[in-house]
Amino acid sequence: MTWLSYLPNAITIGRILAMIPLVWFMLEKQYEYALYVALAAGFSDVLDGFLARKFGWENWLGGVLDPLADKFMMLCCFLVFAVQGIAPHWLLILILARDVVIITGATFYHFTIVKVDKAKPSIVSKLNTAFQILLILVLLAHLSVYQVESFIIKALIYLVTFLTIASGFHYIYFWGKKAIVEHEKQMQNKGE
């Protein structure tokens, strides 16, 4: 394993650190610069994933850091948008609530049912992440270089709302069902 195999993780860490200038530009209402940082972060997300898959450089740390970097970016941006009155507060609360429910459920499952090495995100969750990032980019573009029609922004907000709720319920259903099956297996094994 060469030192290059750590490149995807280094890019992901760079993406996490890029949230410092992104948030600063947003707070200073320099949205054009914030948009450039967000676009660079999005490109780095694609790049680190491509490198990891193409060269077999996938590892546990990258599997943890990559979704963490995405969540951190979304949390930072939606928090600033909510504080500035650009995105509704209820959307931030909904996004946070979903993540808290998923993290709490995953932790409970891991420590009380069966240890999970790596949980793959569902298709609904991937769509949710993609549209949350798209909404962030559209809002930054609207505030800086390109006037986006308000109905497009409203449609994206409602789509993100729907996907956030749907992915939250999907995780609850899927992992709840899995927990019941696993619990029944454990009870049968104890009975033998």
How far apart are the C-alpha atoms of 152 and 171, rounded to whole Å? 28
Q: What pLDDT score was predicted for residue 189?
A: 76
Q: Is this prediction's pTM over 0.85?
A: yes
- Give the model's pLDDT for residue 132: 95
Three-class secondary structure of residue 57 per DSSP: coil
Average pLDDT, integer, range 128-136? 94
Considering only CA atoms, which of 94, 77, 90, 89 is closest in space to residue 143? Answer: 77
Give the separation between CA 8 and CA 11, rounded to whole angstroms: 5
Q: How confident is the model at residue 1 (pLDDT cuts 50, 70, 90)?
A: low
- At 117 the pLDDT is 63
The domain over range 3-191 is classified in CATH as 1.20.120.1760: yes
Q: What percent of the chain has pLDDT over 90?
A: 52
Do 33 and 69 form a contact (C-beta atoms < 8 A)? no
Helical residues (DSSP H) of 18-122, grouped into ranges = 19-27, 31-54, 60-83, 89-108
Answer whether residue 150 shows pLDDT above 90.
yes
